[in-house]
Amino acid sequence: MPRTRRRPGLRTLLTALLAGVTPLLAALLLTAPSAQAASLTEVTGFGANPSNLRMYVYRPDSAPARPAVLVAVHYCTGSGPAFYSGTEFASLADRYGFLVIYPSATRSGGCFDVSSPQALKRGGGSDPVGIMSMVTYAQQHYGADPARVFVTGASSGAMMTNVLLGDYPDVFKAGAAFMGVPFGCFATTDGSEWNSACANGTVIRTPQQWGDLARGAYPGYNGPRPRMQVWHGTEDTTLRYPNFGEEIKQWTDVLGVSRTPAFTDHPQSTWTRTRYGGTGTQAPVEAVSIQGTGHTLPTSGMAARAISFFGLDSATTPPPTDPPTTPPAGACRVAYTTSAWNTGLTASITVTNTGTAPIDGWALAFTLPAGQTITSGWNATFSPTSGAVTARNVAYNSTLAPGASTTLGFQANHTGNTGNPVSFALNGAACQVN
């Protein structure tokens, strides 16, 4: 369809986004931080920036020598300075001493690119590459701690939060998305910025399909995945409420935790909060549904909940140590044996829960040596069939009691390398290998 036929529709959608966030800005500007010694600073020449983003930094006077970093991403029609003034993240940074980066989109409409093939691939180009340059700059010029990098955003910024966790799972430790959509949901191939099917909540996939989309942004990655917090209003007519459930599907699958809530409560009368894979404040996945609310998040007090989910609500700064090159062994043990011939092999994997709590739903991640390709498997589903593989439970072996084991296996082709994977992670935690 010619561009001249599409533009009116895009204007209408951007107007809807602006209409949704205007009440938010009006409310929050009343409680925005008052004059502070520290101020918002624009940084130029911060590195690779293929989409001409602008970078703004807020470094509070309370920041330690090695501060944590929060990337705070604005909505369509917004800007970095507007998100600084209209949200509570700067005042929370004053209280807890973390650094805030406010990226600012410069394209017409002020939306971030969460739809192009370049944006949905690690190092592929567009906005995620520019935002990563900002994070690297903060580490090099402000002494920011690479082990404590987080991201949050509203609307278009929430969609970018999902994208950054998929593209750079080794960089971001957690994200909080206010009114977003799953990674890959907004994908387009015609150069347009808007995906109406996704916005309307009609893109429905299985958890594994969503998970594979996020994992596919960084093929071969087998390390820890960032935690995720998602927020949505039930009456959102811009990015409709079904996207909330699809985000939960995606990130519980990516993190290998059960979609049955481990914890449910109501912090406020219209809020329903569910946690997955854990019951504490920093569970792997947390979801907050706001009854009767439209496209107006975050409202007052919600930013503080995100900061608590990140674990940034403490003035205590960890000692300045480099992040470990390998994660510590978790509460699991793996025994792996193979039998090989000519161009084929079979592998048997025994997984033992060495912890004190039952595991309800599991995903075992490992990387096959080059040249090995799975042709069939048993007692688990395997995806993909080569490279960074995840084996997920089937219905009859989903629960592992403390001390219990389950055995799974597969048959594979090989091109000469019949070696074993060097490491395994169960639900994101590294396992002891026999």
The catalytic site residues sit at: 155
- Helices 89-96 and 302-310: crossing angle, nearest 10°? 50
Count CA within 13 A, CB hemisphere, residue 424: 22
Q: How far is CA 130 from CA 113, 124, 157, 206, 392, in A?
A: 11, 11, 14, 31, 35
Provide the 8-state DSSP code for 317: P
103 backbone dihedrals φ, ψ, rounded to 5°: -65, 150
Distance CA 430, CA 327 (A): 6
**59 near 67, Cβ under 8 Å?**
yes
Q: How many CB atoms lie under 10 A from the CB of residue 301? A: 11
Residue type present at position 119: A
Reference 216, options 285, 151, 159, 163; nearest CA is 163
Distance CA 99, CA 93 (A): 7
Helix, strand, or coil (residue 266): coil
Distance CA 160, CA 53 (A): 13
Distance CA 202, CA 197 (A): 5
Distance CA 425, CA 332 (A): 8
**97 near 60, Cβ under 8 Å?**
yes
Provide the 8-state DSSP code for 324: P
Tell me which H or E stretch contains 250: helix 242-254
- Helices 156-167 and 126-141: crossing angle, nearest 10°? 70
